[in-house]
Structure 1
Amino acid sequence: MRTHRWVERNLPAGDRIHRAEALRGGWTSQMWRLDIEGAGSPYSLVLRSFVKPFYVQHALGLLTREADILRLLADTDVPAARLHGVDASAEHCAHPSLLMSLLPGSIRLDDSDIDRKIALLARQLVAIHRLTVAESARPRTYQAWTGPDRVRIPEDTARPELWRRAVEVIRRDPPPYRPCFLHRDFHPGNVLYSGNGADLVITGVVDWVETSWGPADLDVAHCSTAVALLHGVPAGMRVAEQYLAAGGALGEDHLYWRVLDALAFAPDAEKVAVPWREVGRSDLTPAVLAGRLEDYLEALFDSIRYCSISSS
């Protein structure tokens, strides 16, 4: 009831919650669709609440950051939700919570229209990275989600040398980069679509709690890894190509960032697979994802080898 009362205090006078429906596909938080009725036309909002102990512990920073970013994005063309209220310290709600508008569209994690999806993802990333942000409003500097001594190598891998080589790539200092505005967790599970085929469009980008300031390569790398896990290695390898075709720019040493991101999913990407399976991708078993992750790492090294041969 505390949360219910807080939500209604953030609504226009006379508006009330008519119905609440749990949304699927989230991993870090509980998501609720709230249908609102009142004097005007009915509308819907989304309530995001952190309930897991780890995220409750860090909720003040995460939800405050997301609220700040949603305010910043309100004056841009990025299709992000509108902020309606935030209680990052659970002063008024049962759990740390953020209230925002419901964006149109839905998550599409199936293999249909995959080429168009990749092109749209790449174009959306370019638009995000091109945002001009005043120095005083810039988010925190990016944080790496793994390190050479934190990588969990699959115990039953048949390619241990591949993993050792990958770990060595990230053992050195990060290469220099030109910083820009990053979503930092940009992948198909955080993008909403409407339409099909040639009419397919992105209608929303969600989950801005990890927004950072850093190399464009890192956002591209994260999207590439996720697409490879969801749709196969060839599809994942096309993300960077489409990003460049859309006018984006990547550093010369992109291997570091792509390996850094891929290793954060080790050993079997089970962390992200749980919400993916909840929305229909039951085929993404730990064995399938572990195999795709290894194949993706190998493809990254093969691409560098091919480039070296082509330039010689």
Structure 2
Amino acid sequence: MARIELQNIAKAYGSVEVMRDINLTIEDGEFIVLVGPSGCGKSTLLRMIAGLEPITGGDFTIDGRRMNDVPPRDRDMAMVFQSYALYPHMDVSRNMGFSMEIRKAPEGERTSKVQEAAKTLGLTKLTGRLPRQLSGGQRQRVAMGRAIVRDPSAFLFDEPLSNLDAALRVEMRLEIARLHQRLKSTMIYVTHDQVEALTLADRIVVLNAGDIQQVGTPLDLYERPSNKFVAQFIGSPTMNILEVDQTEGGIRLKDGSVLQLDVSGSRQQASELGVRPEHLHIVSTGEAHMSGTAELVEHLGSDTNIHASVPGIGPVLVRQHGHFPLKAGESVGIAVDLEKAHLFGPDGRRLAA
């Protein structure tokens, strides 16, 4: 296992700076997930850790040893890419053990490690097959097995499930979680899929435009986002953001409704209210904080998504658990769970409410 530290890491291509002041400590055996929109720098950061991209500034250490200029082969890390990158003419067993073969490891040791990895990943009966005879999920398992036999101090995953269909992604996500529980190795995982991040991570690192927006447990990011970007990026469906004005009596919505939320102790005025769809509820008119019309009702079985239009406010998404008997065109009253609401200032930072 490995303790990894990034101190003031920067990355530039010529005069173009793409990452700046990245500070992060990853503990032994921790599962860290890097998330963010396309182009935010998450894969670049992973490649710098792997040694595939040079670090422009700052210090990168593993167990206290500075690794900035250490070549990839000497960093004791194994990487699993989006592409399986298997040798088509080699069977599963040889694909998994080829790195040991190159290092001229004894055949007995090689066979033992391959068999152990195959058992861990449920590939024991497939070791004699060629890659073309395997499904996408099985090929990704082989790629993971190739990393496991190296017995690295850390595993690096670069969007390993993005080429798989929805059912296989769920299956492989569970497989990776089980693998981490068995090996207890340090793992750094890049994805754009927040469901993968929320279900796999010990901690999530949210990146945007080369900067870390927030680092925390999945529940921290969901319940206490540091800013509007994190609030809208984490959670599906995305958080409703409504324009508000701060008044002495609380927060006034654009339709004139007032919510009793006190932010008098904040240095900033509240300018926006954030509330997740599951923290809005369809209620009678007398209990409602706002009223509108259901424009679209999505019956998903486990949940019902109600896309409502509220005069003066605009579109609002409400998520009700289970089947909710509502049709498009019907009037709805909407109540806000005030204990779960978030307020944001003009700079996008969350205010204490």
| TM-score, normalised with respect to structure 2 | 0.21
More helix by share: 1
Pick 1 or 2: higher relative contact order, CA cutoff 8 A, min separation 6.
Answer: 1
More strand by share: 2
